[in-house]
Structure 1
Amino acid sequence: RPVAVEGSNRWRVRVPVAAVRAWSAPYARTITVSVAEAPAEADLPIGLLGHVTDLAALTIRVK
């Protein structure tokens, strides 16, 4: 799903945890992100999508 990013050279995006849960499979350990059609996997915190956790937002960085 397209999302708006911040930054010129080091892009960042903030996605609510509820949206990550809606977009991902239950118990997922990674999330796929792509920039200019080049997909990459980013690790998610263990247990994030397996149990209800009250977080306001989640920051994911791809190296």
Structure 2
Amino acid sequence: MWVKVERPDGEITEKEIPACTYLTIGDVLEDGSIIIDLLFSDDDDDDMTAYGIYDGEDDEYF
């Protein structure tokens, strides 16, 4: 996973972090860098698949 960080010297760079790591914007890394953006890949994951749009018209079936 790639994240965009602001280093302690003010430089903004991208840094690779292990995929199993849970991070949020504002977290401080071991080197003092602050996460300012989480970069997501364009690949579709199984948990990101859109199955349809709920429009409320099918309420009679529930």
- Identify the TM-score tier after normalising by the shorter chain: under 0.3
The structure number with the bigger radius of gyration is 2
- TM-score normalised by structure 2 residue count: 0.26
- TM-score normalised by structure 1 residue count: 0.25
Q: Which has the higher strand share?
A: 2
